[in-house]
């Protein structure tokens, strides 16, 4: 008999909290996100009745977006504005990298992908695109691609990037390199009483437009506005930020089910191998950008990596690696990819 929805959500959250506390005790990187992610992913694959609740995921994205917006002081905003040319290059790089990944998937699995030649091209193209999983799956459906394979590719790629980079950076000792601290560094009850509803309103308003990642980007923009003007309201309470990381980890971990592993294992293996290659290529590209901008390469690896906005920004925040730069690169890339990927496919470019 299937457990009631509230019981599955509560059980999943309890498992996630236990995993987060265990990882914190073990001193692993990003314990509040990676612990829940790993625990819920393993439990889901083993057939446990894990469950995420969309409002909780939205809450997590809102809290993280609001916390990151506090980094955009006038001085930091001026620095990010000076990097416009690097952001444009990063967007072009993301489009090229996604195309290369898609072409590699198509050629590596030419005889094993189902469907017509056009369907195989569309499936590989949207699976390789460096964008959000839900958005790319929706675009793939419009193009007649295999949406199950596209969704699986993006979920697995995000999981690998989210796991590999924090552990690699911690092992290499790459942390504490960010000179830009958030404007307000202490929780001020009066300012927090204004910050929370303002950022929640920004997230809700953007959600009404149907845009991608509205709860994250809406809260981010609402927190950025006063901070960029030099108004420091309050820092976000750390327990709230920890809870948000836990909820985001859960929302990613529950995507993986037993049938996920059994579905097209050759496809998943190719995606995993290709993702590791993408991480290596992004590291090389980040090194070139670091030479041109004077920023640390670790910051630019997170800014250009094929991961999600929230996950990469959380990693930057936890390891103190250029939070505003990573956030700006990831947000601008997401917007550009969402605007360009479908027209480029429709016009026959980058196929």
Reduce the DSSP state of residue 52 to 3 states and report it.
coil
Phi, then psi, of 170 in degrees rounded to 5 = -65, -40
**133 torsion bin: left (phi>0), alpha (psi -120 to 50), beta (else):** alpha
Quote the pTM value: 0.85
62-108 pLDDT tens trace: 999 999 888 888 988 888 889 999 999 999 999 999 999 998 888 87
Q: Quick one: which H or E segment has residue 42?
A: helix 31-45
197-245 pLDDT tens trace: 999 999 999 999 877 778 999 999 999 999 999 888 998 999 999 999 9
Q: Quick one: which H or E segment has residue 276?
A: helix 265-293
Nearest-10 crossing angle of helices 147-172, 309-319: 10
For residue 60, give both structure tokens. Answer: 């997590």
Q: Quick one: which H or E segment has residue 170?
A: helix 147-172
124-175 pLDDT tens trace: 889 899 887 777 887 888 888 888 888 888 888 999 999 999 989 888 887 7
For residue 114, give both structure tokens. Answer: 């189902």
Report yes or no: 316 and 310 within 8 Å, Cβ to Cβ: no
Cα separation, 20 vs 247, whole angstroms:
11
Report yes or no: 317 and 330 within 8 Å, Cβ to Cβ: no
Report yes or no: 249 and 40 within 8 Å, Cβ to Cβ: yes
Q: Is 249 exposed, middle or buried (0-12, 13-18, 19+ CB in 10 A)?
A: buried
Closest CA to 40 of 66, 19, 22: 19
The beta strand positions in 96-224, using DSSP E, are none
pLDDT of residue 9: 92
Report yes or no: 69 and 219 within 8 Å, Cβ to Cβ: yes
Instruction: Map 88-123 to HEC letters.
Output: HHHHHHHHHHHHHHHHHHHHHCCCCCCCCHHHHHHH
Phi, then psi, of 138 in degrees rounded to 5 = -65, -45
For residue 253, give both structure tokens. Answer: 């971990």
The residues spanned by each domain of the chain are: 63-151+161-235+263-346
Confidence tier at 196 by pLDDT (50, 70, 90): very high
Cα separation, 220 vs 208, whole angstroms:
16
User: Please, what is the Cα angle at 336 between 87 and 252, to 5 degrees?
Assistant: 95
Reduce the DSSP state of residue 51 to 3 states and report it.
coil
pLDDT of residue 178: 61
Is pLDDT at 351 greater than 70 in this prediction?
no
Confidence tier at 176 by pLDDT (50, 70, 90): low
Q: What is the mean pLDDT of residues 185-190?
A: 87
Cα separation, 73 vs 227, whole angstroms:
5
Confidence tier at 350 by pLDDT (50, 70, 90): very low
pLDDT of residue 349: 47
276-291 pLDDT tens trace: 999 999 999 999 999 9
Sign for the CA dihedral angle at 59, 54, 327, 15 comes to positive
């Amino acid at each position: 008999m299937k457990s009631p929805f509230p019981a599955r959500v509560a059980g999943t959250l309890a498992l996630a909290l236990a995993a987060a506390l265990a990882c914190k005790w073990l001193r692993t990187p990003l314990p509040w996100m990676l612990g829940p992610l790993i625990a819920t992913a393993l439990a889901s694959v083993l057939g446990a009745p894990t469950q995420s609740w969309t409002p909780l995921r939205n809450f997590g994205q809102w809290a993280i977006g609001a916390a990151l917006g506090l980094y955009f002081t006038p001085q930091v905003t001026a620095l990010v504005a000076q990097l416009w040319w690097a952001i444009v290059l990063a967007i072009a790089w993301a489009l090229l990298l996604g195309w290369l990944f898609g072409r590699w998937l198509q050629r590596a699995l030419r005889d094993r992908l189902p469907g017509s030649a056009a369907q195989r091209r569309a499936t590989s193209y949207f699976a390789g695109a460096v964008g959000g999983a839900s958005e790319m799956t929706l675009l793939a459906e419009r193009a007649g691609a295999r949406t199950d394979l596209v969704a699986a590719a993006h979920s697995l790629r995000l999981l690998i990037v989210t796991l590999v980079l924090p552990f690699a950076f911690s092992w290499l000792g790459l942390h504490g390199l960010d000179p830009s601290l958030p404007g307000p560094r202490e929780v001020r009850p009066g300012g927090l009483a204004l910050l929370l509803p303002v950022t929640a309103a920004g997230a809700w308003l953007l959600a009404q437009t149907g845009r991608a990642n509205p709860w994250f980007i809406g809260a981010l923009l609402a927190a950025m506005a006063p901070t960029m003007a030099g108004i420091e309201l309050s820092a976000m309470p750390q327990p709230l930020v920890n809870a948000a990381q836990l909820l985001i980890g859960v929302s990613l971990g529950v995507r993986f089910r037993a049938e996920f592993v059994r579905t097209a294992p050759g496809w998943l293996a190719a995606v995993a191998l290709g993702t590791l290659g993408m991480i290596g290529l992004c590291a090389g590209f980040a090194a070139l950008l670091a030479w041109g901008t004077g920023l640390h390469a670790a910051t630019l690896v997170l800014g250009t990596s094929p991961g999600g906005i929230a996950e990469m920004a959380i990693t930057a925040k936890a390891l103190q690696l250029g939070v505003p730069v990573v956030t700006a690169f990831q947000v601008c890339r997401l917007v550009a990819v969402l605007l360009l990927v479908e027209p480029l496919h429709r016009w026959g470019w980058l196929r």
